[in-house]
């Protein structure tokens, strides 16, 4: 087990991202390869959860595209992620806010944390 941890620590590149959690609205800028071209696309939404630890940590973002909810799971240390921006800090009481999936309209708003 120590050998596995050693390999993860030595060879997997960890990135520095701002500290964010469930309820925060963030924008993730990531690279997309289309044939030989590489372009940057962004995904802006509310963080539903952060899961895992270390090099295998992931986070789930949910956004509304028209009237359809779209969720995407990103690994924190993915090499395709260029940067993460925090747009709003949300004030929620849970680490995983899956109840957001059932809410629409004004009920789906998250109270903003003042800094």
Domain ranges (residues) in the chain: 2-103
Fold topology of 2-103: SH3 type barrels. (2.30.30)
| pLDDT attached to residue 54 | 79
Rounded to two decimals, the pTM is 0.84
- Beta-carbon neighbour count of residue 20 at 10 Å? 18
How would you write the pLDDT of the chain (115 residues) with one tens digit per residue? Answer: 688 778 777 777 777 888 999 999 999 999 999 999 999 999 999 999 999 987 888 999 999 998 899 999 999 988 899 999 999 999 999 999 999 999 888 998 999 988 7
What whole-number distance in Å separates Cα of residue 57 and Cα of residue 33? 23
Q: What share of the chain is helix, strand, coil (3-state, %, to 5)?
A: 20, 45, 35
CB 15 within 8 A of CB 76: yes
Burial class (CB in 10 A: 0-12, 13-18, 19+), 10: exposed
């Amino acid at each position: 087990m120590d050998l596995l941890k050693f390999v993860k620590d030595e060879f997997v590149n960890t990135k520095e991202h701002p500290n964010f959690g469930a309820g925060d609205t963030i924008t993730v800028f990531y690279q997309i390869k289309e044939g030989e071209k590489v372009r940057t696309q962004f995904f802006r939404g509310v963080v539903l959860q952060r899961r895992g630890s270390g090099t295998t940590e992931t986070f789930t973002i949910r956004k509304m595209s028209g009237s359809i909810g779209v969720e995407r799971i990103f690994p924190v240390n993915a090499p395709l992620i260029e940067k993460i921006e925090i747009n709003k800090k949300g004030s929620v009481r849970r680490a995983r806010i899956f109840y957001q999936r059932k809410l629409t309209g004004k009920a789906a708003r998250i109270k903003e944390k003042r800094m």
